[in-house]
Every structure is written in C-alpha cells, then in structure tokens.
Amino acid sequence: MSRTLYDKLVDAHKVCDLPDGDMLIYVDFHIMNEYTSPQAFSGLDQKGLNVWRPEAHLAVIDHVNATRQRDPHDDASKLLIENLEANCSKHGIAFYGLGDQRQGIEHVVVPEQGLVVPGMLIACGDSHTTTYGAYGALGFGIGTSEVEHVLATQTLRYKRLKTMQVVVDGDLGPGVTAKDIIMKVVQVVGAGGANGYAVEFAGSAIKTQGMAGRMTICNMAVELGARAALMDADDAAYRMAAGRAHSDLLHFDTEEWSADPGAKYDKVFHIDAAQIAPLISWGTSPDQSVPIDGTVPVVTRDMTPKARAALDRALTYMGLVAGQSVQDIPIDSAFIGSCTNSRIEDLRAAASVLKGRKVAEGVNAIVVPGSTFTRMQAEAEGLDQVFREAGFDWRPESGCSMCLAMNDDIAMDGERLASSTNRNFEGRQGRGARTHLMSPAMVAAAAISGHLADVRTFRTEEG
Ligand SMILES: CC(C)[C@H](C(=O)O)[C@@H](O)C(=O)O
Ligand code: SF4
C-alpha cells in the first residue's frame, strides 16, 4: 500500500506498540537548549538515572543569551547557561556554548553542522524542531518530562498523527519568498488548522526552493498547529546532507525518504504559487496577514460575532484602523533574525535590498545572524559591511534574541516592529510590542522606508 512519508518515518522508528494504543519510538538525535532542559536533568538526578546514549544528544545555548556581547546580561541567564554546561559535562553530552564557533539557534546550528540527514527522527524541547522536515527527517518538539525520558531511554511515547498534504504548484512572482509561501499556507489553513496533523508539503513551488527556503517553510508550519512538517528528500536534500554530514551520521542509508505516489492524506490543500504576493502580518496571530499592497481588513457582514471581536481586539492591540493601507504603517524597529530567517541566504537577501541605502531616520534596525558560523560566513562575504553601512546594528553573538525577548532585546510598549520572525502574539517581542511578520528582504525594505514597504518596488529601482 502507498504510504505517506510521515507514516514511513514513524514505522521505521517504532520500537513497539503500547497496551494503551500509543507506541514507543526511537529517537536518533535529541537537541537541548538552556531554557527547557534544567528540570529534565534534575529529574534524572532524583531518580538516579544516567543518560543512556550521550552521543545521541546535543546541547546549544540560544534562548536567553545576550547578543550584544558574550557575557550574560543578568544572573538568571548566567545560571541557566552554566547549568546546562555542567549537566552536559557530567553526562558526556556535546555542548555548543558561547564562544564556540558552532553555537547559535539550535535549528540553524543542527543542519549547518551536518547533524541531520534524511530518514532521521529528531526531538527537541522546542516547537520549531519541525525545521528538519526540509531534509525528509521527522522532527518535533517535546515537553520537559519527555526530555527526561529521551535522555534516559532514547525513546518516547508517541501517538500517530493524522496527515495533511499542502501542495503549492506554479511559479512564484518577483519578490515572493519561502516566507511568503508559508505565511500564505498559514493564512489558508488557519493558525490552528493543522492541530493534530503532520503536514507534508509538495508541489513544484516547494521543490524549486533551496534547502534554506524549505527549512523556513517547515519551521513555520508549527504556526499551523502542525506537530510535524515534512518534504520529500530529493537530490538537493541528499547532496546538502551528504556534503556536510557529521562523520557519525555517514552510516545513515540513502533509502528513498519520500511519499509514495498515490499516498492518501486525511486532508489536502492546493495553493497556486502565482497567486502569492509578498505578505505582512497585520494582527496578533500568524494567519492574520495581507499582501503588502493591500489594506488592513474591515468587519464584513458574514463575520461571526466571535470573528468580529477577534478582529477588533487585534486592531486595538496593533494600533491600526480597519481599511488603512498597510504601506502607510510606520515602524519603530526592524529585526532580522530567528530560526525561521537568519541563515546566510536570508542575510544575503536582506543585504541585496540594503546595499547602497540607509535605514530611515529614527528606525532601530538589528540583525542577529542565526549562528556564529553563519555570522563568520557573512563577514567573509562582506555582508556585515552592507548592514552596518545601511545603519543596522550587526550583532556579534547569535541566539533567539528579539524573536521572543528572553534576553535584553525587549521591544517597548507600543513599539512597532518589522520582523523576520515567526510569531506575532501579544507581548511576544516585549509587553505591548507590535510585531509585523515578513520576509527578511521585506524587513530591509521597511527599515529603509520607515514604514511597511513593497520589496518589489526596490527591485525595480535597482534593476
Ligand atoms: C522557549 C521554547 C519552549 C519556545 C518553543 O518551543 O517554540 C520558543 O522557542 C518559541 O519560539 O516560542
Ligand atoms: S529563534 Fe524564536 S522561534 Fe526559533 S527557537 Fe528561538 S525563540 Fe523559538
């Protein structure tokens, strides 16, 4: 029988069925950060347990560290960082700490260091672990008690998800990126539309994306509510994986990790790539987005009272007026970073818009490369100069930073940001902060303009 890629990956990792209908699955690789791991290690200690396969784990500092300088900005973050390092050295687990060239945001670091190849199952105490689906690997986020379980046993209790296929076919228009594809998917399927599903992406517009674009899409599929996101592993995925693969992973077979033709999904969505415009989010949920040449939505007759209330609340929080043109929205800050959009390809895309231009007066513009390695690569290409000359603050350290404001990069009450990140919930980038999600090139366009702006007009001026 034809199988989905998701089912193939789950079947390949199943250890056994459990009496209650769940199963036990084997975890090939487990990643930890300083924020979601401490209780797991305390749990092991209390039970007197050891880590069963230390070599199958990696710990990275990314969530709370400062990016203006290497030293922790406060005692609480210092403690979290030191704790993880101590736990790793005690249990013999690889640790990419501050100052290590391999350090950075976990989901940027893992592919960069060649730690993912098609067919793997990867777990991490972080929802954006779906990123590895770009390689045909099953990645998903786990909770703290599960982190403890996987440290002790290398397995997890698992319930099979339903499957959804999202097919994006056709050619993308100018200025339309992987970020716009996934923002469109979130808009069509809805922010909770994939709750309980594993999503498989297919179609020509997905296949023509490079690995960075594919990671952006799988990464942000979490905002659909998806617990897993996958793409068939094609030549590009195998080439990238093989070119970088860590020596420990070279034994992984190159079996075909793709969905069988005719595989059946519980739900299917079709999206025409030609209909996707560069998008910006206007509201407080990632599915509240409109094309950059559009307007902020207005109440319509067919809206339920609940939908009206949600619209009103989002407009009030965001300080916007229904029907206003989105390009008239002025910004205070621009942020390029996060596991969705801080890879070298993202930095190049933003730099190509910034080259020879200046950030508008009064706009605070920050760029945090996704990893130390990425930063060094960008500096070798001279991208840091482009950002600096434009007036961006080029951060010397890597981490999540202003994606979720757990370090000292906290937006102020009412501050409006053009952001290459993935979440725009109330308070996400600081209490009262107003986030507009978009692609890195669009953040650059907004930074230069001082208001949300259409990246396509910059391309025309350039060309
Ligand atoms: C802190 C962590 C648990 C969280 C996640 O799981 O996604 C964070 O990375 C985020 O993006 O909100
Ligand atoms: S960059 Fe943002 S989304 Fe990604 S792991 Fe860090 S906080 Fe979460």
Q: Report CA(213)–ligand 1 centroid distance (Å).
A: 21
291 and 165 share one domain: no
- As a whole number, mean pLDDT of residues 345-352 equals 98
55 and 187 share one domain: yes
Nearest to 369 by CA among 349, 389, 339: 339
ipTM for the predicted complex comes to 0.98
Q: Looking up tokens 């987005």, which residue turns up?
A: 289
Domain of 212?
Answer: 5-255+262-269
Q: What is the dihedral of CA 240, 339, 441, 346, to 10 degrees?
A: -30
What is each CA distance from 312 to 219, 299, 309, 321, 331, in whole angstroms?
A: 29, 9, 5, 10, 21
How is the beta sheet containing 197-202 ordered, strand by strand? 228-231, 197-202, 162-169, 267-272
- As a whole number, mean pLDDT of residues 385-396 equals 98
Rounded to whole angstroms, the Cα distance separating 32 from 368 reads: 21
320 and 437 share one domain: yes
Ligand 2, atom 6, residue with closest C-alpha = 400
Nearest to 288 by CA among 438, 395, 144: 438
Ligand 2 pocket: which of 61, 403, 406, 437 to mutate (most atoms within 8 A of CB):
403
Q: Report CA(366)–ligand 1 centroid distance (Å).
A: 21
pTM of the complete model beyond 0.95: yes
Ligand 2 pocket: which of 422, 428, 435 to mutate (most atoms within 8 A of CB):
422
pLDDT band at 254 (very low <50, low <70, confident <90, very high): low
Q: Report CA(338)–ligand 2 centroid distance (Å).
A: 6
What is the number of structural domains in the chain? 2
Does residue 45 fall inside a structural domain? yes
Supply the pLDDT for residue 463. 47
Q: Report CA(405)–ligand 2 centroid distance (Å).
A: 10
pLDDT per position as a tens digit, 394-420: 999 999 999 999 999 999 999 999 999
Which of 222, 240, 269 is at the close of a domain?
Answer: 269
Which of 269, 303, 318 is at the close of a domain?
Answer: 269
Q: What CATH number corresponds to the domain at position 99? A: 3.30.499.10
pLDDT per position as a tens digit, 28-77: 999 999 998 999 999 999 999 999 999 999 999 999 999 999 999 999 99
93 and 166 share one domain: yes
Q: What single DSSP character describes residue 325?
A: B
211 and 295 share one domain: no
pLDDT per position as a tens digit, 286-333: 999 999 999 999 999 999 999 999 999 999 999 999 999 999 999 999
Which of 213, 240, 269 is at the close of a domain?
Answer: 269
350 and 305 share one domain: yes
303 and 242 share one domain: no
143 and 101 share one domain: yes
Name the 3-class secondary structure at 416.
Answer: strand
Residue 250 predicted with pLDDT over 60: no
Tokens standing for residue 176: 């339309």
